[in-house]
Amino acid sequence: MSTKNLTTLLLALFITSLIIFSGCSTARKPGPTQPVPNQTNQTPAVNNNTNQVNNKAREQARNIARKTDQVDGVKSSTVVVAGNTAYIGLDIKANIEKGQTKAVEEAVIKRVRGTESGIKTVFVSSDVDTLTRLKNIDKGMANGMPASSFANELGEIARRLTPRTM
């Protein structure tokens, strides 16, 4: 056998063994993890606290909504309270002219000032898109979602509107 044939044969054997031993190994996957004994789950306490905060904010929002619904020119209102900020969406009555909506919004601000001392900033809008967004947030909070889960949406609403501080 010539050295050329011997080299080719050894190279072929080397490549074949390399393929056999490295290409056919089973994948290593971690096994299932065992729960640690005596480990307590903190989730119920957190959820209970979130629900208490959420319920307080929703009650405060309902109180504000009852007061703002009494303002002349307001058909209905949707209120979302997050911390010390109130976001108010107004459905204005049909007989109110466009130029009068600012006056209605200012009347709502005055009513909120007299109603809630804990509210420091108020955003009021009679824009249909903003009202719809606030209704969706209110529905989410009614279903148990905290106001913090709507932070991006509320931030977007705040960027669109001019805040009124109390």
Looking at domain 43-165, its CATH architecture is 2-Layer Sandwich (3.30)
Cβ count within 10 A of residue 138: 20
Residue with more model confidence, 83 or 51: 83
Residue with more model confidence, 27 or 123: 123
- What pLDDT shows up at residue 165? 61
CA distance 159 to 52: 28
What are the sequence ranges of the domains in the chain? Answer: 43-165
Q: Which residues pair with 125 in a beta bridge?
A: 89
- What pLDDT shows up at residue 78? 93
**CA dihedral sign of residues 63, 103, 74, 70:** positive
- What pLDDT shows up at residue 77? 93
Mean pLDDT of the chain: 80
Report whether pLDDT(22) > 80. no
Nearest alpha carbon to residue 126 among 109, 103, 101: 101
Confidence bin at 45 (pLDDT 50/70/90): very low
**What is the percent of the chain with per-residue pLDDT over 90, rounded to a whole number?**
25
Q: What is the pLDDT of residues 65-120, one digit of tens each?
A: 999 999 999 999 999 998 888 999 999 998 888 788 889 999 998 888 877 778 88
Confidence bin at 136 (pLDDT 50/70/90): very high
- What pLDDT shows up at residue 43? 47
- Quick one: tokens of 132? 């719809």
